[in-house]
């Protein structure tokens, strides 16, 4: 089955399709950061009943940014918590289940901090390449690992942004909405803090969903400047659940008339 992000990017980036298969595997998140309409619900949150085209992002309550931090738990997480606290910001940490036993205390600290913890699978695979039984195992094992630190995840971040309709449906059966992103820091490239800051702030708008990773020291170094720039623009950094609530409160009849909801299968 063709993945949702591939379907979204076909009319937008024909050049991408010329890449070899190995390159495509590393670019599966392309539409999330380069699509012409990054707020299309069926891409950003596959299967959601929230139509983001109907959100009036000029409203005060919509001036939020969801900060999401992947690949933990990690030794950098306590420092990230300190930075968030100092700037009055919150984030959603997407944790890999297999890493929790080695960082159990850190995971508990984050879970109790007023921020949010979501699932990033058990082993961080290219999940759509797995047969159904292994997909189920990866989500179920991560669910158990998260439960060991008191977390029942309601958000799922697929590794590499790799998702298809079946995976999104599986996540829903586990009580989780799948979410991708609109602003990719690409901090996994070992970029310096200034480069990371620029990549994020150039897409820092009301309703953005920012992707970062806690495993890089440069990410931690870049975070204060990103939060300060967001504050300068009148934006609040919130968890995914807070972001979702703000977006729903900002759906207006006027925007619904301009952007009728797509047909649901």
Query: What dihedral angle (degrees, nearest 10) is formed by the CA atoms of 200, 19, 4, 157?
Result: -40
CB count, 10 Å around CB of 30? 20
Burial 124-133 (b: 16+ CB within 10 A, else e): bbebbebeee
> Is 103 noted as a catalytic residue in this protein?
no
Beta bridge pairs of residue 164: none
Nearest alpha carbon to residue 92 among 178, 25, 26? 178
Cis geometry, peptide bond prior to residue 73 (ω within 30 degrees of 0): yes
Active-site annotation holder among 77, 187, 213, 244: 213
Which tokens sit at 117? 């913890």
> Which residue do the tokens 């829903």 mark?
172
Active-site annotation holder among 51, 70, 162, 164: 70
E-strand spans in the chain? Answer: 64-72, 92-95, 116-119, 155-156, 177-178, 183-184, 209-213, 236-238
> Is 213 noted as a catalytic residue in this protein?
yes
CA–CA separation, 137 vs 48, rounded Å? Answer: 24
Backbone angles phi, psi at 51, to 5 degrees: -95, 105
CB 246 within 8 A of CB 64: yes
Backbone angles phi, psi at 73, to 5 degrees: -70, 150
CB 68 within 8 A of CB 244: no
Nearest alpha carbon to residue 243 among 89, 123, 34? 89
Residues labelled catalytic:
70, 213
């Amino acid at each position: 089955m063709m993945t949702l992000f591939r379907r979204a990017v076909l009319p937008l980036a024909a050049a991408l399709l010329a890449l070899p298969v190995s390159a495509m595997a590393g670019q599966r998140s392309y539409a999330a950061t380069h699509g012409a309409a990054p707020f299309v619900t069926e891409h950003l949150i596959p299967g959601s009943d929230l139509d983001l085209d109907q959100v009036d992002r000029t409203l005060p309550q919509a001036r939020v940014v969801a900060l999401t931090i992947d690949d933990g738990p990690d030794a950098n997480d306590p420092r990230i918590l300190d930075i968030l606290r100092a700037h009055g910001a919150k984030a959603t940490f997407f944790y890999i289940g297999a890493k929790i036993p080695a960082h159990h205390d850190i995971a508990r600290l984050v879970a109790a901090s007023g921020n949010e913890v979501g699932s990033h699978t058990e082993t961080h695979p290219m999940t759509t390449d797995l047969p159904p039984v292994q997909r189920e195992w990866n989500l179920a094992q991560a669910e158990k690992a998260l439960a060991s630190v008191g977390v029942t995840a309601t958000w799922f971040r697929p590794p590499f942004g790799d998702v298809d309709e079946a995976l999104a449906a599986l996540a829903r059966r586990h009580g989780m909405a799948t979410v991708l992103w609109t602003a990719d820091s690409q901090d996994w490239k070992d970029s310096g803090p200034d480069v990371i800051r620029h990549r994020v702030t150039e897409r820092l708008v009301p309703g953005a969903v920012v992707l970062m990773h806690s495993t890089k020291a440069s990410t931690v170094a870049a975070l204060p400047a990103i939060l300060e720039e967001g504050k300068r623009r009148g934006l609040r950094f919130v968890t995914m659940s807070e972001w979702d609530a703000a977006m729903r409160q900002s759906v207006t009849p006027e925007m619904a008339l301009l952007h009728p909801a797509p047909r649901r299968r």
